[in-house]
Amino acid sequence: MHKIIEVKDLSKQFSGITVVDRLSFSVFKGDVFGFLGQNGAGKSTTIRMLLTLIRPTGGQIKIFGKDLNQSRNEILGKVGAVIEKPDLYKYLSGLDNLSLFARLSGKSFTRRELAIKLGQVGLEDRGGDKVRTYSQGMKQRLGIAVSLVHDPDLIILDEPTNGLDPQGIADIRNLIQMLSMDQQKTFLVSSHLLGEMEQIANRILIIDKGKKIIEGSVRELVDPAKLVLEIETTDNIDCRTKLETTFWNEHLRKSAYSGKLILDISRDEIPMLVRQLVEMDVQVISLKPVNSLEEYFLSLTKEKAHVETGTN
C-alpha cells in the first residue's frame, strides 16, 4: 500500500522532559487513521511536528514519500489541517471566511463555488451568516471546509469533536466518513474518544505518555467474531512462556508490554484453554473479556502503569 505519512523514531523534549518518545507509525492512502490517547499523551505535539509548527528533537518524518525538512512547502501545499478549535474570523460570514482562506492558499473561487464547498460540510444555508452566530459544531465544520478549500490529499484533524454535544460529534463523524468515501481523502484524526474513533477509523495508533502502545487495523484489534480475553495469573510472564510453546501462541497478542496476557479466542475455545492452563500448573486469578477498543486501550495503559511502577 502507498504510504502517505511515514514517521520513524520521532522524539520531542521540552526542557529535558520527553513528550514524544521514539514514535514510529505509517498512514496509508485512503486511511481514516485514528490517532488515539488520553489527554497529555503527546498527540498534539506529534501533529505540530507533522505540520512543522515545532521542530522534533529527533527522528524522521516523510509525507508523500518526501522528507518533511527538505520539501516542506511542497508537502504542506497538499495538506489541510484543523488544530483544536479552528481559527476563524467571527465578524465575517462563513462564505467570506472561506473566500479569505482560499485566497491565502492561492486559490480563487466564485461565490457559487464557495457555496458548494460549504454545502459539502452541511453549511449551505448559513454561508451568509456571521461566524459569531455559529454553534461550536458549525465552527468545526467550517474549519474543515477551510482545510479542504485547496483540495488537499491529506487532512489532519486534532481533536475535532472537543467541546461538542452528541449531535455535533455525530455530524463531524458523518462528515469525515463522507469525505473519505466520496472524495477518497486520507485523514489523520486525533482523539481521546476511543469509542467514537472505533466507529470511523479503519486503522489506529494508540499512544500513552509519548510512546506507541499498539498500531493496526480496527478489525484486527477488535474483531466482533472473537472475544478478546485478558488473563491474570499469579505469574503472567511464566504463563506467557508456557503458552508460547503451545497451540495458543497463535492466539496471543504481542502487546508492547510482555506482562499482559491478551488472547484472541472464540467463546467455545475457552474451556479448552482453561483445561490446558490447569494442566500446565498455571494459577489463574481471573479471565476477563475485553469487548471494545476503549476497554482494550484501558487495559494496555493500566499494564504500562504497572510496568513503570513495578507492580503486578
Query: What are the two backbone dihedrals, phi and then psi, of residue 248, each rounded to the nearest 5 degrees?
Result: -70, -10
Strands 284-290 and 203-208: unpaired
Same domain, 196 and 231: no
Please report the pLDDT score of residue 208 as a whole number. Answer: 87
Same domain, 193 and 261: no
Residue 306 lies in a domain: no
Task: Kindly tell me if the per-residue pLDDT of 214 is higher than 90.
Answer: no
Residue pair 121/80 in contact (Cβ under 8 Å)? The answer is: no
In terms of residue numbers, what domain contains 84? 3-216
Same domain, 68 and 148: yes
Residue 208 lies in a domain: yes
Please report the pLDDT score of residue 163 as a whole number. Answer: 79
C-alpha cell at 3: 504510504
Same domain, 37 and 153: yes
Q: How confident is the model at residue 213 (pLDDT cuts 50, 70, 90)?
A: confident
Same domain, 282 and 166: no
Task: Kindly tell me if the per-residue pLDDT of 40 is higher than 90.
Answer: no
Q: How confident is the model at residue 197 (pLDDT cuts 50, 70, 90)?
A: confident
The residue written with cell numbers 509525507 in the block is 63
254-277 pLDDT, tens digit per residue, is 754 546 788 888 878 888 999 999
Pinpoint the alpha helices (H) of the chain.
43-50, 72-76, 94-104, 111-120, 136-148, 166-183, 194-200, 218-221, 236-243, 270-279, 293-309
Residue 301 lies in a domain: no
61-97 pLDDT, tens digit per residue, is 999 999 999 999 999 999 999 987 778 999 999 999 9
In this structure, of 19-23, 155-159, 206-210, 307-311, the range with the lowest mean pLDDT score is 307-311
Please report the pLDDT score of residue 306 as a whole number. Answer: 42
Spatial strand order in the sheet of 154-158: 79-83, 154-158, 186-191, 32-36, 203-208, 211-217
Out of 216, 247, 271, a domain closes at 216
pTM of the shown model: 0.75
Contacts of 250 (CB under 8 A, 6+ apart): none
Residue pair 10/20 in contact (Cβ under 8 Å)? The answer is: yes
Structural domain count, the chain: 2
Judged by DSSP in three states, 209 sits in: coil
Judged by DSSP in three states, 186 sits in: strand
Rounded-to-integer distance, Cα 160 and Cα 157, Å: 6
Return the top range by mean pLDDT from 81-85, 247-251, 307-311. 247-251
Same domain, 79 and 98: yes
* Domain harbouring 242, CATH code: 3.30.70
Residue 262 lies in a domain: yes
Same domain, 172 and 268: no
